[in-house]
Structure 1
Amino acid sequence: MSSSKRTLDADLPTQKKRKRSIKAALTHNLKDIQTKRFDFVANIFSKELVLKVFSYLSPRDLRQCAAVSYRWSVMANDEMLWKPLFYKRFHTPRIKYRIPQTDLLKDNYHLNSQRRAETVSKYRGSWKLKYKVHRNWLLGHCQISDIIFQAVNQNNSSHFRHVQVYNNMLLTNRNNSPTVEVWKYMAHINGSTATLVYQFKADDIKDNTRITQFKLFTQQEVKKKILVAGYSNGGFTLWEIANKGAGCEDLSKENIIELFTYVKSVCGRTNNDVSAVSLEYPILTVHAYDTISIYHIESATVKLIRQFRCPYDWKSVALNVFPCKTVFGNRPNNLWKIVICFVIAAGNSYPATVGIQELLVSENDIVSSKQSLDVQSYPLSTDFAYSLLPTNRTSFTMVTSIAYSPPHLITAYDNNTIEKYMVTPTSPSSEISRLHIHKQNILYGHTYKVEAIAIDALRQKLISADRSCIKIWNLHDSLLKQSALVPSDIPVTIPIFDNLSAMMELPFCKVEKLDFNEDKIVAIIGSPLEDTSSIRLWSFHT
């Protein structure tokens, strides 16, 4: 008994040592495990599993993952991750507006079903860069630079009159000139510049004729791009931009082909300026002074379909032409829908009236016509109707600019406000559908008179400008009950001048024209006091 007890007591130190040694070994191994890192991206998971894990991350998390290592950066910047993120946040859904079918139209010709095609060709195939550009729109992050600066001469002929942006090219025109200028835009780290590539004009237009309106149209049906220029004599010229591969994107001189020039003979009228044009090949609509002309273009000839005088003094006009296919009996017919948005400047202390007229035309004549006025808040009396006549209209007008992109009609006013209208058909329960225009809301936020606006319903953007800032409004569609990323009444504000906060006094300038595309805004800025005219660019591709 005493012998076994002595043996057990002798083994106690050995057991304690063994336990201590096992504990020390486990602790050492645990430290090694804790200190050693396993890169599951490079060594453990396959590419498919890594992308699956990363697909649950937000854009901010992906940017942090890209800073870990080169392998992580490659995986975090994969296009399979950023394309779904872009579509989830920025892609515009399909927009549809229908009217009831009638006996005349077996198909809905007021159907506007469009979807903006999303491509990354201009971003070198990078969906991440495209995501960054659209995010900069929401945050107002941009680079401001005067890409073209021009001193104005005494006769004001060097002053810019029109500007339109197309990819990395700019189309401009100057006062009292029949020439179109093509500029190449180039971005730099410290700013942006533009170089005059070439200029062209119609062969049959005299030098004393000036361009009063021009616009570049993309024709999806015939896969053409056509530039239309309207002149001070009421005529117009059409140029086709030939599709010859990559050169078409740069508007190369050899790709611009003059189709024809239409010279309108005007008797006893000094003012016949073309103020608005719209083209949906082969239907061209032109507004000159108080006349609406509808033309049918066939090869190199132009046929006048119908011409009519405006019943009132239309101060501002916006035109749009849309194709629609209908069926009369068993025979299909091609018809086009022409939408004319106008503003009637009323006198005798009455405000301006906004209206819209829709024409359904064929290749030979007008099929139907509908008109609607937003006069619900105005008194309907003989005095009001009498005040609409041009001879009794006072000289003031409240509307400074008008723009239309279905179904949104936007008007800007000199009281620093913008009114947004919705152009919709009447209730589907009615037998005959008629257009209805109603005011949706009033947009506040400008501190000066709103001088220029531009709209693109497919991109859901409205751009407005005064002498101090540019505001970007989101046109979310209330008919679709869709929640917008940014409420339409809370705009993104970007300054006109890059160093606006450091200025003691705001320079006197005027935003005369405005245009934008997916990654930039361009505007003509005139400074009457300094006799300068410049084209300013806000680039979100930073």
Structure 2
Amino acid sequence: MVKRRRDEQNSGGERSLKRARPDSVDRFTSLSDELILRVLSYLPVSHLVVCQRLSHKYQSLAGDSQLWKEQYYNRFVRPRASRLPGLKERGDPDERLSFASKASRWLEDEHLVDQKVKTNWKKQYKLRHNWSRGSCAVNEIQVAEQATVPPVLVQMHDGVIYMANQADGLRAWPAKGERKLIAQIALRTTVPSRPPTSLAVDPAAREYGAAKVVVGFEDGAFSVFVLKHIESRFVQRYSHEPSSNGVVSAVALSWPFVVTMTATHLLSLYWFNEPRGDSQDVLESPLLLHSLKSHTVWPPLSISLRKSAASVSISMAYTLPTYLSGWVRILIIRILAIVRPHANF
């Protein structure tokens, strides 16, 4: 078959359908990766997602962890920090809440910026974004054939679900993959009929392949456990004696500090002297740094603990009953001079 001539194919003087090359030169692609990242830092999230579809190069650049770390901070951390008393933006550059890789205020997200952990910031942004929109996947884990009294205490951190109740003790399950029990340990108390009443997990990244957990009990005692992931077992490192102050209604943990709140409205802050290298399983009795007595705290309540190089901040949210309505009050306690835990407060 004889090949047709080009002029016969384009009969009638029609122009070829082949796209003409642009006259302009692409100088942006020739820039260094550092300069391109600088330009991409000014783009919103929607444009960053589009840039990742252009090529393999832009998929890597637009997915850079530092870009998404700044996006995460500006959307989820900075607005919340600007509403807290004493953390509002000021003229002093040191007090501004603008993003900085080393000087940013992260509030409850300090565990994400721990130097020993590499955080996937795009994944964290996507997770928070989906939760804010209400779009999430729901999976159920059957922990008992029938409901227990009192109910099971549950906390989740770093892909592990922690559960505590009187019958089954302290258990750990993976949040993803096969629902296989990671570890389990019985909860030993002086009175078997007094169940666990509060549970907290250290929000900091796990060190030495372990995660620390504190459990409060109805008899006023509390215990510290460590989940050793490599060995798939719990180790009880400390058990506090029962107290006459009543039920431990809430606990918070940011190692080496533990905060307890009892039913008699006694708030206590403890400090543990951690041996170097985490070589010992049993801890010595903690030092009681400070305690406060309140007469206006009503259940339910929740407490959190944040530490820095010079202070420890305890936030407590509790109800305040009023006529025909109820209110929630948030109390923030800051204890200074934690550099020397033995100092007088």
Q: Name the TM-score class by shorter chain.
A: 0.5 to 0.7
State the match for 2:321 in structure 1.
345
State the match for 1:81 in structure 2.
62
Q: Does 1:114 align with 2:113?
A: no
Q: How does 1:117-516 map to 2 (within 5 A)?
A: 117=112, 127=122, 132-148=126-142, 150-152=144-146, 156-157=148-149, 160-174=151-165, 176-177=166-167, 179-187=169-177, 194-202=179-187, 207-219=192-204, 225-241=211-227, 247=229, 252-254=231-233, 256-266=234-244, 272-290=246-264, 291-299=266-274, 300-307=284-291, 309-312=293-296, 314-323=298-307, 335-346=311-322, 351-352=326-327, 354=329, 356=331, 358=333, 360=335, 363-364=341-342, 367=345
Is contact 2:305–2:315 with CA below 8 Å preserved after alignment? Answer: yes
Q: Rate the CA distance shift 1:112–1:47 in 2: closer, same or farther, 3 A.
A: closer
1:291-323 per-residue CA deviation (whole Å, 9 max, x = no partner) reads 223333234222334545432452233333344
Is contact 1:219–1:226 with CA below 8 Å preserved after alignment? Answer: no
Is contact 2:48–2:62 with CA below 8 Å preserved after alignment? Answer: no
In 2, the alpha carbon distance for the partners of 1:220 and 1:277 equals 19
Structure 1 unaligned blocks of 5 or more: 1-23, 67-71, 101-107, 188-192, 326-333, 368-542
Is contact 1:315–1:345 with CA below 8 Å preserved after alignment? Answer: no
Matched residue type, 2:162:
L
Q: Rate the CA distance shift 1:359–1:178 in 2: closer, same or farther, 3 A.
A: farther
Is contact 1:360–1:366 with CA below 8 Å preserved after alignment? Answer: no
Using structure 1 for the length normalisation, give the TM-score: 0.42
State the match for 1:58 in structure 2.
47
In 2, the alpha carbon distance for the partners of 1:359 and 1:122 equals 27
CA-based RMSD of the aligned residues comes to 4.9
Could you tell me how far 1:112 is from its partner in structure 2? 9.3
In 1, the alpha carbon distance for the partners of 2:254 and 2:61 equals 37
Could you tell me how far 1:237 is from its partner in structure 2? 0.6
Could you tell me how far 1:37 is from its partner in structure 2? 7.8
Matched residue type, 2:218:
S
1:41-77 per-residue CA deviation (whole Å, 9 max, x = no partner) reads xxx99975798699689356447x56xxxxx4x345x
Matched residue type, 1:90:
Y
Is contact 1:50–1:75 with CA below 8 Å preserved after alignment? Answer: no
In 2, the alpha carbon distance for the partners of 1:32 and 1:50 equals 39
State the match for 2:3 in structure 1.
none
In 2, the alpha carbon distance for the partners of 1:145 and 1:258 equals 30
Pick the structure with more strand per residue. Answer: 1
SS in 2 for 1:182: strand
Q: Rate the CA distance shift 1:61–1:274 in 2: closer, same or farther, 3 A.
A: same
Q: Aligned pairs, how many?
A: 289
In 2, the alpha carbon distance for the partners of 1:323 and 1:337 equals 6
Matched residue type, 1:146:
E
Q: Rate the CA distance shift 1:98–1:287 in 2: closer, same or farther, 3 A.
A: closer
Is contact 1:178–1:205 with CA below 8 Å preserved after alignment? Answer: no
State the match for 1:90 in structure 2.
72
1:437-492 per-residue CA deviation (whole Å, 9 max, x = no partner) reads xxxxxxxxxxxxxxxxxxxxxxxxxxxxxxxxxxxxxxxxxxxxxxxxxxxxxxxx
State the match for 1:511 in structure 2.
none
Is contact 1:164–1:172 with CA below 8 Å preserved after alignment? Answer: yes
In 1, the alpha carbon distance for the partners of 2:293 and 2:119 equals 50
Which of 1 and 2 has greater Rg? 1
Q: Rate the CA distance shift 1:36–1:292 in 2: closer, same or farther, 3 A.
A: closer
In 2, the alpha carbon distance for the partners of 1:113 and 1:125 equals 19
In 2, the alpha carbon distance for the partners of 1:36 and 1:112 equals 49
Could you tell me how far 1:131 is from its partner in structure 2? 5.8
Is contact 1:136–1:142 with CA below 8 Å preserved after alignment? Answer: yes
Q: Rate the CA distance shift 1:123–1:87 in 2: closer, same or farther, 3 A.
A: closer
Using structure 2 for the length normalisation, give the TM-score: 0.62
Could you tell me how far 1:261 is from its partner in structure 2? 0.4
